[in-house]
Amino acid sequence: MSAVLPKAFPSSLNCSHLPAKSKKKKLVASPQVSTKGELVMDERDALKSGRSAKVKRKRGDKDSSFVKTIGYGDENTGFRVKKESKAAVVEKKEKKIDEEVLDGGEETVLQEEEESYLSDTRFDECPISASSLKGIKDAGYVKMSKVQEATLPLILQGKDVLAKAKTGTGKTVAFLLPAIEVLSKLPSSNLGNKVSPINVLVLCPTRELANQAATEAKKLLKYHRSVGAQVVIGGTRLTQEQRNMQANPCQILIATPGRLKDHIENTAGFQARLKGVKILVLDEADRLLDMGFRRDIERIIAALPKERQTLLFSATVPKEVRQICHVAMRKDHEFVSTVEEGTEETHAQVRQMYLIVPVEKQLSVLHQLLTKHISQDSDYKVIVFCTTAMVTALVAEVLGGLKFKVREIHSRKSQSYRTRVSQEFRQSKGIILVSSDVSARGVDYPDVTLVIQIGMPSDRAQYIHRLGRTGRKGKEGQGILMLAPWEICFLDALKDLPITEATPCQPDPGCQDKILKVLARIDMRNKERAYQAWLGYYNSAKGVGQDKLRLVDLAREFSESMGLREPPALQRKVLSKMGLSKVPGFRSI
Ligand SMILES: Nc1ncnc2c1ncn2[C@@H]1O[C@H](COP(=O)(O)OP(=O)(O)OP(=O)(O)O)[C@@H](O)[C@H]1O
């Protein structure tokens, strides 16, 4: 495979020498301040809007081409305006770095980089309520992140906002804080009343993400005594959620779309409460607006007042999403991106590599990658993403059998189990989480050292979100994508990202024997389920599933990799649902 990809790292990297965590980061050249995380627009527009902006450059016009503006100077929001020329910003930054370097040491340099997702604006410089400020202070947040700085004034002005910012840069607070501020200014008859209207509705694509957003909301609401946030996510009894919403203040409702639709259809009085919605947030907007969720979202939006503010946030906003965001937003919405056009959507401090490994060797290469990583970093915290829930369960079982400290999380586990494992992983070090895409988006596990993706993700955005579980809040991380030779086509979707090829490892033959022994002990039903799930996934995967005869061979390869002599037979109706009942080579029962 010719590497069409930018060479940010050595391409001939043997995976037995995968980069150890670098001890000292390089000092990023100070002018980065002029190119990172700022909007690009005409100088006049930038000054007018007051947004932090990199101004479109005119030829021969260097120093005056950057205007950094903090806040909006808007009388409604009370933001102050501060304008600095590029030269002044660079000079200030250089001075700060010089001082830090003189001050000595790695720590300050590391801190400088780790804080690169933060802006220079402090929360206490913003016109937000004392109660929110106290909550923010208790949460330990001092400076706003860039996306928070860029979106807060717009949201407070009542604008609809579509915001794009890299993973782990504080998007949740970016929509929750202004939403709480809007709430706290509503007439007091709305507040404190237990069966009050729902004023802020946040939709998240997964239960984990909804729970996490609720935790963040509770931090910010700590001193807003009469405002409450509730979660409706499924996996628990509908009646339990109904009771919670009835018995506790619920001006902010955080929900997954399916369960919310259930409440719209089955909870008495719920539709009436939704008529109070002033702000709708679609977290991970591109995922929520893609085909899988579109119908539910349209149904939900139809139940909401037309007069409302809508906020869409994500780390990836593909063109199609921009085209269909009129489904939810007003035409004159603002698009804010803290990812500069032409730059990558992934973090520079996360090393990305791919490995091409035949399916039958993937488990032993995985074993080797994990062993190496654990030996290099005793504080390892790894997520291994697999294509489907049942493949996730199988890989977790194999790794457990190989004596790794491993946990699994996917949709086939009960919600209480998922919540428990998620909490344990959040708080632990020295642990591996094998996960399906339930952890791909938004989930904020601190200090993940390595993300491994086995098999092609559903699309480019999903690759970026999964990778985004490491390198959060400016920290370092590594990502490895393991593809079978016939999945190479997926790399086309990543060609503008700094991902490079690692030289394939030669797995230790002893390890292969161990894996076969572990596989032999695994219940046949688990292998059958994994096979069926695998087939379902690749049958509809772009670039693989179209050629059904080829799919027969690839599925056989997968079943052999689980130590099976022949692929399991599938129920006729399952094959027929997949459109494979007439394909010779698949066995049915
Ligand atoms: N201003 C801030 N200062 C310091 N930490 C912050 C700040 N804002 C948010 N955080 C923390 O940063 C972490 C990442 O935030 P969050 O999960 O909202 O990121 P995100 O951009 O939504 O990521 P993703 O795209 O993966 O969903 C969280 O632990 C959050 O508590």
Helix H, strand E, coil C: the string for 251-294 is CEEEECHHHHHHHHHHCCCHHHHHCCCCEEEEECHHHHCCHHHH
Report the range out of 176-180, 249-253, 471-475 with the highest average pLDDT: 176-180
Give the residue from 387, 123, 375, 160 showing the smallest Cα distance to 285.
160
CA 149 to centroid of ligand 1, rounded, Å: 13
pLDDT computed for residue 311 by the predictor: 97
Give the residue from 289, 280, 340 showing the smallest Cα distance to 311.
280
Check residues 426 and 106 and name the one with the higher pLDDT. 426
CA 172 to centroid of ligand 1, rounded, Å: 6
Residue range 429-439: average pLDDT?
97
Distances (CA, A) of 12 to 185, 346, 351, 451: 58, 22, 14, 20
Query: Do residues 40 and 343 lie in contact, with contact meaning Cβ atoms separated by under 8 Å?
Result: no
Per the structure block, which two tokens stand in for 201? 């509705």
Check residues 488 and 38 and name the one with the higher pLDDT. 488
Residues 20-47 pLDDT 10s = 443 333 322 232 333 333 444 443 444 3
CA distance 335 to 47: 17
Confidence of residue 4 (pLDDT cuts 50, 70, 90): very low
pLDDT of 90 strictly over 80: no
Residues 506-545 pLDDT 10s = 778 889 999 999 999 999 999 999 999 999 999 999 888 7
Mutate to test the pocket of ligand 1, among 444, 447, 469 (most ligand atoms within 8 A of CB): 444
Q: Whose C-alpha lies nearest to ligand 1, atom 20? A: 168
CA distance 320 to 326: 11
CA 116 to centroid of ligand 1, rounded, Å: 13
CA distance 531 to 536: 9
Residues 292-320 pLDDT 10s = 888 899 999 999 999 999 999 999 998 87
pLDDT computed for residue 188 by the predictor: 65
pLDDT computed for residue 210 by the predictor: 95
Q: Whose C-alpha lies nearest to ligand 1, atom 14? A: 168
Say if ligand 1 is within 6 A of residue 149 CB. Answer: no
Give the residue from 85, 87, 91, 77 showing the smallest Cα distance to 53.
85
Taking CA 521 as the corner, what is the angle to CA 519 and CA 527, rounded to the nearest 5 degrees?
55
Provide the mean pLDDT of the chain.
82
CA distance 443 to 287: 14
Most distant CA atoms of the chain, gap in Å: 74
Say if ligand 1 is within 6 A of residue 444 CB. Answer: yes
Say if ligand 1 is within 6 A of residue 170 CB. Answer: yes
pLDDT of 6 strictly over 50: no
Give the range among 139-143, 312-316, 324-328 with minimum mean pLDDT. Answer: 324-328
CA 148 to centroid of ligand 1, rounded, Å: 10
Say if ligand 1 is within 6 A of residue 168 CB. Answer: yes
Say if ligand 1 is within 6 A of residue 442 CB. Answer: yes
Mutate to test the pocket of ligand 1, among 169, 177, 212 (most ligand atoms within 8 A of CB): 169
pLDDT computed for residue 545 by the predictor: 79
CA 10 to centroid of ligand 1, rounded, Å: 31
CA 160 to centroid of ligand 1, rounded, Å: 21
| Structure ipTM | 0.99
pLDDT computed for residue 149 by the predictor: 96
In the DSSP assignment, the letter for residue 570 is B
Look at the alpha carbons of 129, 130, 135, 139 in this order and tell me if their dihedral is positive or negative.
positive
pLDDT computed for residue 31 by the predictor: 29
How many helices (H) and strands (E) would you count in the chain? 22, 21
CA 169 to centroid of ligand 1, rounded, Å: 5
Say if ligand 1 is within 6 A of residue 121 CB. Answer: no
CA distance 300 to 303: 5
pLDDT of 141 strictly over 50: yes
pLDDT computed for residue 483 by the predictor: 97
According to DSSP H, which parts of 494-570 are helical? 509-521, 524-539, 548-561
Taking CA 430 as the corner, what is the angle to CA 429 and CA 432, rounded to the nearest 5 degrees?
100
Atom of ligand 1 nearest to the CA of 444: 17
Say if ligand 1 is within 6 A of residue 145 CB. Answer: yes
Give the residue from 361, 464, 409, 450 showing the smallest Cα distance to 207.
409
Residue range 566-581: average pLDDT?
92
Contacts of residues 236-239 at CB distance under 8 Å and 24 or more positions apart, as own/partner, are: 236/415, 238/262, 238/263, 238/266, 238/267
Give the residue from 13, 8, 125, 7 showing the smallest Cα distance to 372.
13
Say if ligand 1 is within 6 A of residue 167 CB. Answer: yes
pLDDT computed for residue 236 by the predictor: 75
pLDDT computed for residue 189 by the predictor: 52
Atom of ligand 1 nearest to the CA of 172: 18
CA distance 335 to 39: 10
Say if ligand 1 is within 6 A of residue 385 CB. Answer: no
pLDDT of 107 strictly over 50: no
DSSP bridge pairs for 312: 162, 282
Mutate to test the pocket of ligand 1, among 119, 138, 141, 288 (most ligand atoms within 8 A of CB): 141
pLDDT of 414 strictly over 60: yes
Check residues 241 and 37 and name the one with the higher pLDDT. 241
Q: Whose C-alpha lies nearest to ligand 1, atom 16? A: 170
Residues 115-131 pLDDT 10s = 588 999 999 999 999 99
As a whole-number percent, the residues of the chain with pLDDT over 70 amount to 79
pLDDT computed for residue 114 by the predictor: 52
Query: Do residues 564 and 528 lie in contact, with contact meaning Cβ atoms separated by under 8 Å?
Result: no
pLDDT computed for residue 74 by the predictor: 38
Distances (CA, A) of 127 to 153, 180, 226, 239, 437: 9, 13, 21, 40, 38
CA 49 to centroid of ligand 1, rounded, Å: 26
Residue range 572-585: average pLDDT?
90
pLDDT computed for residue 195 by the predictor: 59
Helix or strand (DSSP H, E) at 314: strand 309-314
CA 572 to centroid of ligand 1, rounded, Å: 47
Q: Whose C-alpha lies nearest to ligand 1, atom 25? A: 167
Neighbours of 548 (CB within 10 A): 16
CA 96 to centroid of ligand 1, rounded, Å: 25
Look at the alpha carbons of 537, 538, 543, 548 in this order and tell me if their dihedral is positive or negative.
negative
CA 441 to centroid of ligand 1, rounded, Å: 13
pLDDT of 422 strictly over 60: yes
CA 581 to centroid of ligand 1, rounded, Å: 47
Per the structure block, which two tokens stand in for 586? 């698949």
